[in-house]
Amino acid sequence: MAGRKHIIPGFRFTMGLTLFYLALIVLIPMASLVLKGSGMGWEKFWAAALDPRTLHSYYVSFGCAFAAAIINGFFGLILAWVLVRYEFPGKKIMDGLIDLPFALPTAVAGIALTSLYSENGWIGQILYSLGVQSAFSLFGITVALVFIGIPFVARSIQPVLEELDGQYEEAARLLGAGRWTIFRRIIFPELLSPLLTGFGLAFARGVGEYGSVVFIAGNMPYKTEIAPLMIMSKLEQYDYYSAAAIALIMLVLSFVILFGINLWQWRLNRVRGI
């Protein structure tokens, strides 16, 4: 086998194993979702996918995920900045803690956040007295999605900020630029690309998130039902085809948005000549 390209042994075996396993676990199951979803006929498909209650659930899922990703963009930038540029006691612990949402099961996060933000909870008490309904509302869903998305933005920006060459900042300072100008004109443009990556990851994760959200959402129709929950409830009614239709719409929307972010990033890098 193999001409010049394949000097190292094991190509057939590893490639075969990879393709076989990929097909078995990912491709065949995904294909059967697409087949079942598209095999039901256009009319039924659109009726299931665009039913008003379901439409509202897309709006909740995508809207709250967007809001949460923006909040995480802001705090993620600050967290990365603080962790890279400053020295202070407890920094190591803070750095390690950021990954907690990756390690903590979503259901545990869900019940913990619900307990904190409900009317008698430690944080909920304060918010409710200020007139903010912090649990069983869009606010609550966004809180859960912020929790889930914290690591994405911070972890995307951190390595780039660490590699950033201090010379340009130094030069700008010598030329008399203020701190804010240096940040806005020199540092921020470098961080925009990883910020977008982190934003996209946090957003994609938020759109599909289920475990941490169902407990705090309250799941009221036309108010706080998220799209993954609609899939779940269609399945519970044995309405498999509608579940497949909603899933396909969600997949297509997420891919279009991720593709858009990638495109923006690609243009950004091209303009900057990277």
Site for other proteins in 160-189 (CB under 8 A): 166, 169-170, 173, 179, 182
Q: Which of 121, 194 has the CB closer to other proteins?
A: 121
Q: Where are the alpha helices (DSSP H) in 164-272?
A: 166-174, 179-182, 188-208, 211-217, 227-236, 240-271
Answer yes or no whether residue 85 interacts with other proteins by CB under 8 A: yes
Say how far apart CA 213 and CA 144 lie, in whole Å.
Answer: 6
246-265 residues in contact with other proteins (CB under 8 A) are: 247, 250-251, 254-255, 258
Question: Is residue 13 involved in binding other proteins (CB under 8 A)?
Answer: yes
Return the number of the residue (21 or 188) whose C-beta is nearest other proteins. Answer: 21
Q: Which is nearer to other proteins, 96 or 271 (CB)?
A: 96
**Centroid of chain to Cα 143:** 13
Binding flag, residue 103, other proteins (CB under 8 A): yes
Assess 45 for contact with other proteins (CB under 8 A).
no
According to CB under 8 A, which one of 108, 132, 252, 263 is a site residue for other proteins? 108
Tell me the C-alpha to C-alpha distance, in Å, between residue 147 and each of 98, 124, 270.
10, 16, 33
* Least Å from the CB of residue 152 to other proteins: 11
Nearer of residues 133 and 254 to other proteins, judged by Cβ: 254
Alpha-carbon torsion, ordered 229, 262, 158, 210, to 10 deg:
0
Q: How far apart, in whole angstroms, are the C-alpha atoms of residue 49 and residue 72?
A: 30
Among candidate residues 111, 260, 73, 2, the one with its CA nearest the CA of residue 268? 260
First-to-last CA distance in the chain? 38
Query: Closest CB to other proteins among 52 and 96?
Result: 96
DSSP letters spanning 133-160: --SSSHHHHHHHHHHHHHHHHHHHHHHH
**Burial grade of 148 (CB within 10 A; 0-12, 13-18, 19 or more):** buried
Q: Is 123 in the site for other proteins (CB under 8 A)?
A: yes
Minimum distance between the CB of residue 59 and other proteins, rounded to whole angstroms? Answer: 16
Stretch that binds other proteins, among 47-55, 83-91, 129-137, 263-271 (CB under 8 A): 83-91
Least distance between other proteins and beta carbon 241 (Å): 8
- Give the residue, chosen from 48, 109, 127, 217, that forms a contact with other proteins under the rule CB under 8 A: 109
- Joined together, the tokens standing for residue 253 give 């929307």
Residue of 221, 240, 260, 263 that binds other proteins (CB under 8 A): 240
Is 63 near other proteins (CB under 8 A)? no
Q: Does 78 bind other proteins (CB under 8 A)?
A: yes
**Is residue 7 near other proteins by the rule CB under 8 A?**
yes
Gyration radius (Cα) of the chain, Å: 23
